[in-house]
Structure 1
Amino acid sequence: MSDERGRKVINYLLERPIHNIEELELQTKLTRRQLEYSLDKINEWLNDNGEPLLKVENNRVVVSEKTREQFFVQLEKKVPIKNYWMNSEERIKYLFLLLFYFYDDYFSVNHFVDAFGVGKTTVINDLKKLNMELEQQAVSVVYSRKEGYQLVGEEGNIRYYLMKMILWDFTEHQSTFIYDLFIEKNELTGFQETKKIVETMLQKYHITFVENRLTEFIYTFIFLKKRIASEVHITGKQYKAAAMIPMKEYQFSEELLKADGISSQGAILYVCSWILGLSIGTPDKMTKDYETIMDLVERISMRFEALSGIRFSNEEKAVRQLYAHFRPAYYRLLFKLPIINPLYSKIKEEYSELYDIVEEALKPIASLFEEPVPEDEIAFLTMHFASLCSSAEDRQYPKKVALVVCPNGIGSSSILYTELKALFPELSFIGPVETNEVEKLGDSYDLIFSTVPNVRLFYTKKLVYVVSPIMSTAEKYRLISDVYTHIGNFNFKIPRVDKLLTIIDKYTMIENKSGLEKELADYLIKGEEQHTEMPEEGPELYRITAPDMIQTGVKAGNWEEAIRLSAAPLLKNKRISREYIETMIQTAKDEGPYMVIAKHVALPHARPEDGALDLGISITVLDFPIVFGSKENDPVKYIFCLSAPKNNRHLNAMAELVNLLDDQGFYALLDSSRDPKQIYEYIYEQSRV
């Protein structure tokens, strides 16, 4: 507990009562020797405090419930441990905080030596590393005899680095330790005291934060308010004061700063923009920005539906959920505020085709902000669309009730809820809820799934499983194994992949052990039917079309005839019913040219229940382009008519189509070729690239 490595190991030990040593090595990124040293040190600490020791035997670490409780208590403490030794990464952050907060103090190397208890050479190396990190924000640490060490750069960039540092530590590691250490050592206003003030004002102005975003805001505000009070000018910020002053976020910012004697409008506008980029966007027609943001949300939703071939059954719910995320995203993009999505890599891996479609759907919006939408923002929106696209059945079983706790926001909550329902159909689920809602639920549940370890959950005396909102196949397998092990009245017990691998390895040569392990786990989780009949990624584009569904040189008199002609191959191949065609045309009459998704490109489709019989897409090239009524993208020459009986199985093919629509070579082929086989072969070859 006296260094960062020990705390990291403890964070992982909290997740489960039994751990495999090799898994712990991978999770902590420690060598076997480093891990064993940390485990020995933790046991020394437990022994000194009269707690049960970790049992390290048979390549496993076993943690008793009493020991886990003690770990929770220690990690929840806001007062840092005495005689704590910072590692290099922590010293660098602490250095930045010193220079950031005490910007008007004089600092020499000797000050840093005293603060850290290390030598001058170590401090100088830490300063060099800090400078390398600050370079990305055009900020540097500069020394002069007159002023000592100072942060030099645009004030906006300096503040941006602080925000991003706190965001990263909290979202990636769920850790505020170094900030609590700084607050304690330098006697700053504490977290709990600041939280009371902030929460009171949030209630007063009816502003809502996701639980984790509130924590990040409070810590950042503690360090930031002194610099805000200095009224250092921030260049390049274009605040629309006339639009922001009537907002409740402006009034909140004004009162919050007034409590610290800060009254300048520039400071209030700065905090207001920051709040707008963090708080949940509740659709409210009375706010001045409602029409602007709702218009963007509806455009994104319609474009996603057009590109993906998915028609949301509950449009109002979809739009409200997207609004809640997009309003703060809009202000983050507008005011260049930092965003970090620790699940970005997992989302791109697990929902790659959906990510590509969302990225394409956002391209017209990006032009408003003069730069592409950051990948982290795209990943967050992908989570929202993934939960909206889910078609998992809501089965109810009275045996056990599971509570889902997720303090990370709507996207994470929705997708975790959907994943867990698919993994555990034997359970009934309630939630998702934030941590502070758990106590209100009494004894209405049997076990808890949470995205973060929290001592309050431990005190419920229920089984607590710490999970990632986006789980890999291996993580799903491990979770199923843990749950089935601990809940005795489940009739099914999942086989262990490591045992199967050991048996296979005895009698065969395994060329790709990790690949085999993943596929075995995937098979065991999904079962025979899903594994063989419905691959997770869905079929490629070439598998859902064919030469006899590709038409060139087609003549049509108007848009309605063009849709009927484009749908004819699907009807002939019994992929759709006649009602499906009539629904597409009627929807276009009711809603306008929803299917025109790009310049000269239309993708007509309807909902599965409207007569989609089998998965398929036809491709039609018109001899003479037809006006569909789209101001931006008329006239239409290329029509891709889609039939999708299941709401998300076709997404891989649609992601491939989105990429083809950016390929000028594809259009050139469609314009020049009269041979459907040649076009089909091009599609096939592109899918293999």
Structure 2
Amino acid sequence: MDNDILSLIQYLLATPFSSLEDMEKSSGVTRRQSLYRFEKLNRILKGEHVPAVTFSSTPDKKILLAPETQTALQDLLQRSGGKEAYFFSKEERLIYMYLLLFIHIDYLSLNHFIDALKCSRSTVLADFRELKAHLEESGIEICNNRKLGYYLQGPEVEIRRFMIQNVIRTLADRHGSQLFDTFIHDWKLDLFGYARQIIAELAQKWNIRMIEARLVEFIYIFIFLKTRLQNGVQNTLPFPDQVETETIPSLKEYDFTTDLLKQYSETGVFDESDIRYLTSWVIGISYGRFNENTKDRLLIGRMAKNIMLRFEALSGVHLTGNNKIFVQLYAHLRPAYYRLLFRLPIYNPICETIKNEYGELYQLMTETLKPFSVMFHGEIPDDEVAYLTIHFAAAFSKARAEAPVRRKKALVICINGVGSSTILYNELTQMFPELKFLPPCDTSHWEDLRTEADIIFTTNQTPLHTADLTIPVIRVNPVMSVSEKAGINRKVHQWLGTRVPSQPDVDAVMSIISKYAEIRNYDHLYHELLSYFSEAELPDTPSEIRLHLTDMVWPEIISLHLHASNREEAIRMAYAPMLQQHCILDKYVDEAARTESGYMVIAKHIALPHTKPEAGAISCALGICVLDEPIRFGNQENDPVKYIFALSAVDNSTHLTAMAELIRLFNDQDFFTLLDTADDPDEVMAYIRSHL
């Protein structure tokens, strides 16, 4: 069997449920070449008296292997040399070639690549062209001269970064290290097992707890980097400007690194920047412990606190005071800080999944981290953002699991006594299963129950006589029409901060019917359809609610062209319409106005005041207030404030989708131009609806 067939057998055994296209991409072959290889393999299998490899009839052409065929392939591989006969896919060939360039042997010729890869000259040259194209994106060149042969040229940070990315992604994708073990064996590099033993002993000595998967990555990276430096590459790393890196020599991870280098000969080639670089890697694969009094503890702790504060400010979620979340964030942030400082890459295999499953949180986290990217001279990679997102998502999930579920209580008051309220009571309980209804009462006894109620339904058309009533009062008829039910439904769901259950548009349905049928009694049919759609069965226990921005903003709480003399007056003006709409209580406004002003200014000229739900939030809402004359809020970087987005949130999760949508609007300059020029709140609402 030739190398192509052996490589195909290895692929089929490693990925038994792949498609023909998957195999072609992995091997870098055309459809004609792949079918030719399968034809050759099937001739061999015929001699083994087992079924041939076939393909499904579906468009993706899944590769189909019978159990006895799979057994025969394993036997063929063993007879051809077993695991020692390792043949590379095209992707693995490119990685092998880069590692060979990276370790920088004395003179590297084309024959070194041909012999090591067991490929033809034309295949190696084609692979070279593809590798060069990949490297150009990172500013790295493959050069060749008579003295050195083939070698890499470019920023040393990027040359190392490309090697590290290849190691991390290969180990993550394949869950194995055969490619690197083969390379180490071929070029007689330091053994993985020896390095692992030394590192384990030193980790115990210095009380460093490493993440297992990251440790395997580090060992291979250390072996390849040490070989490169021992082979004479002298290229001092550009050192980060941050003063904080001066604390690195005082850390136990630095002592660990110097001890590690002492275990090997010829490590005097590691200069101070290399030692700090390796130290940052050691920290980057370790757990951060807040209870350890390290010299960087204050820096990392302050950063963790500021991330929590900014996330709170942007999301309306309140986490401060939760020491457990802070300690967990610190544990993740300390290694992440050093990875970012030295631009050490990571690979998050579930990054795209996190973006899809936790889209709102991911957007909020991206915006949260923007000011911190200045510390690292570049944007924070998506993989790091995704890990932080899942950290916060886990905190939310735990908080939701531990939080007791409280159903809001409703009170039904009937002017004609309890007996006549029975029909109304039954109607309302069916309409709003998410509410817990107290026993109905008449007007003479309602004061006894008012402290227990969160909302009141009453048939009394005159105001209830009390000066301090702060809960919503919905006035209803004892027997409601279909249209009245629809109106009350909207009011209650607006107060709850939930979406009105979607119903078909009766006018649209009537229009369709009239095209194809003669309607004898238009009004009766209209009302019967309206009744039928309105009485659609609702679930007994509502699923987790996700409000959109259009659920939390409406024209009545949008205020344009206002004038305020100071910060507190501006905040109170922004919340005033929300008070009138029974979204919040007075004490909520008082608490929001007392909040540290710098904390609520989240971007240039934008303030997002809010406080904890228990301060008096009745429903989820977002008031928009635009000042003609900006006001200073005490935030040196982002003052003065012209746009105030007054938030009311009833918990830590219901409004997150809306906040993610708001963040997108914050990055839309046309939105703020409209706020400056609009005279009618309906214009603002129309813009929001059309841009989400």
**1:563 partnered with 2:571:** yes
Using the TM superposition, name which of 651-660 and 547-556 deviates more: 547-556
2:690 to 665, 685, 688: 685
Q: What does residue range 495-574 of structure 1 map to in structure 2 within 5 Å?
A: 534=544, 538-556=546-564, 558-574=566-582
Q: Can you list the C-alpha shifts for 1:36-76, whole angstroms capped at 9, x where unaligned?
A: 9989989x99x99xxxx999999997999xx99x99xx9xx
Q: CA deviation at 1:287?
A: 2.0
Partner of 2:333, secondary structure, is: helix
**1:255 partnered with 2:262:** no
CA contact (8 A) 1:300 1:361 kept: yes
2:247 to 213, 235, 243: 243
Q: CA deviation at 1:272?
A: 1.7
Q: Which residue is equivalent to 1:482?
A: none
Amino acid at match of 1:250: Y
Q: Which residue is equivalent to 2:145?
A: 144
CA contact (8 A) 2:308 2:320 kept: no
Partner of 2:599, secondary structure, is: coil
CA contact (8 A) 2:288 2:333 kept: yes
Residue ranges of structure 2 left out of the alignment (5+ in a row): 405-537
Q: Which residue is equivalent to 2:83?
A: 81
Using the TM superposition, name which of 626-635 and 83-92 deviates more: 626-635
| Structure 2: distance between partners of 1:29 and 1:185 | 26
| Structure 2: distance between partners of 1:545 and 1:115 | 65
Partner of 2:137, secondary structure, is: helix
CA contact (8 A) 2:314 2:368 kept: yes
CA contact (8 A) 2:38 2:53 kept: no
| Structure 1: distance between partners of 2:292 and 2:575 | 40
Q: What does residue range 148-167 of structure 1 map to in structure 2 within 5 Å?
A: 148-167=149-168
Q: Which residue is equivalent to 2:94?
A: 92
Given the superposition, is the C-alpha separation of residues 142 and 561 from structure 1 closer, same or farther in structure 2, using an over 3 Å criterion?
closer
CA contact (8 A) 2:308 2:319 kept: no
2:602 to 597, 606, 612: 597
Q: CA deviation at 1:530?
A: 11
Tell me which structure has the larger Cα radius of gyration: 2
| Structure 2: distance between partners of 1:218 and 1:235 | 21
Q: CA deviation at 1:197?
A: 0.8
| Structure 2: distance between partners of 1:63 and 1:393 | 46
Q: Which residue is equivalent to 1:214?
A: 215
Given the superposition, is the C-alpha separation of residues 114 and 638 from structure 1 closer, same or farther in structure 2, using an over 3 Å criterion?
closer
CA contact (8 A) 1:80 1:181 kept: no
CA contact (8 A) 2:607 2:645 kept: yes
| Structure 2: distance between partners of 1:278 and 1:187 | 26
Amino acid at match of 1:581: V
Q: Which residue is equivalent to 2:295?
A: 288
RMSD of aligned C-alpha atoms? 4.2
Q: Can you list the C-alpha shifts for 1:421-459, whole angstroms capped at 9, x where unaligned?
A: xxxxxxxxxxxxxxxxxxxxxxxxxxxxxxxxxxxxxxx
Residue ranges of structure 1 left out of the alignment (5+ in a row): 14-18, 397-527
Amino acid at match of 1:207: I
Q: What does residue range 113-512 of structure 1 map to in structure 2 within 5 Å?
A: 113-229=114-230, 230=232, 232-238=234-240, 242-261=246-265, 262-263=267-268, 264-266=270-272, 267-284=274-291, 286-312=293-319, 315-390=322-397, 391-393=399-401
Q: Can you list the C-alpha shifts for 1:599-644, whole angstroms capped at 9, x where unaligned?
A: 3322122334444333221112235444433333334332212222
Amino acid at match of 2:570: A
Partner of 1:212, secondary structure, is: helix
CA contact (8 A) 1:137 1:157 kept: yes
The one of the two structures with greater contact order (alpha-carbon pairs below 8 A, sep at least 6) is 1
CA contact (8 A) 2:236 2:271 kept: no
Q: CA deviation at 1:248?
A: 1.0
Q: Which residue is equivalent to 1:661?
A: 666
Amino acid at match of 2:625: T
| Structure 1: distance between partners of 2:63 and 2:237 | 56
Q: CA deviation at 1:359?
A: 1.6
Q: Can you list the C-alpha shifts for 1:214-251, whole angstroms capped at 9, x where unaligned?
A: 11101111212122334612242348674221111211
CA contact (8 A) 2:171 2:217 kept: yes
Q: CA deviation at 1:542?
A: 2.0
| Structure 2: distance between partners of 1:257 and 1:530 | 65
Q: Can you list the C-alpha shifts for 1:550-583, whole angstroms capped at 9, x where unaligned?
A: 1124444543443333223333333334443344
| Structure 1: distance between partners of 2:648 and 2:35 | 54
Given the superposition, is the C-alpha separation of residues 273 and 54 from structure 1 closer, same or farther in structure 2, using an over 3 Å criterion?
same
| Structure 2: distance between partners of 1:80 and 1:610 | 69
Q: CA deviation at 1:288?
A: 2.1
| Structure 2: distance between partners of 1:161 and 1:60 | 33
CA contact (8 A) 2:11 2:23 kept: no
Given the superposition, is the C-alpha separation of residues 290 and 27 from structure 1 closer, same or farther in structure 2, using an over 3 Å criterion?
farther
Given the superposition, is the C-alpha separation of residues 128 and 26 from structure 1 closer, same or farther in structure 2, using an over 3 Å criterion?
closer
Q: CA deviation at 1:333?
A: 2.5
Partner of 1:393, secondary structure, is: helix
Partner of 2:143, secondary structure, is: strand
CA contact (8 A) 1:3 1:87 kept: no
| Structure 1: distance between partners of 2:116 and 2:679 | 76
Q: What does residue range 34-45 of structure 1 map to in structure 2 within 5 Å?
A: none
Q: CA deviation at 1:314?
A: 5.3
Given the superposition, is the C-alpha separation of residues 601 and 108 from structure 1 closer, same or farther in structure 2, using an over 3 Å criterion?
closer
Partner of 2:401, secondary structure, is: coil
CA contact (8 A) 2:567 2:633 kept: yes
Given the superposition, is the C-alpha separation of residues 665 and 62 from structure 1 closer, same or farther in structure 2, using an over 3 Å criterion?
same
| Structure 2: distance between partners of 1:680 and 1:533 | 27
| Structure 1: distance between partners of 2:7 and 2:299 | 46
Amino acid at match of 2:263: A
Number of residue pairs matched? Answer: 532
Amino acid at match of 2:165: K
Amino acid at match of 1:249: E
Given the superposition, is the C-alpha separation of residues 158 and 672 from structure 1 closer, same or farther in structure 2, using an over 3 Å criterion?
closer
Partner of 1:137, secondary structure, is: coil
CA contact (8 A) 2:317 2:651 kept: no
Q: Which residue is equivalent to 1:575?
A: 583
Given the superposition, is the C-alpha separation of residues 245 and 596 from structure 1 closer, same or farther in structure 2, using an over 3 Å criterion?
same
CA contact (8 A) 2:312 2:318 kept: yes
Given the superposition, is the C-alpha separation of residues 5 and 206 from structure 1 closer, same or farther in structure 2, using an over 3 Å criterion?
farther
| Structure 2: distance between partners of 1:530 and 1:104 | 71
| Structure 1: distance between partners of 2:598 and 2:331 | 27
Q: CA deviation at 1:189?
A: 2.7
| Structure 1: distance between partners of 2:335 and 2:318 | 25
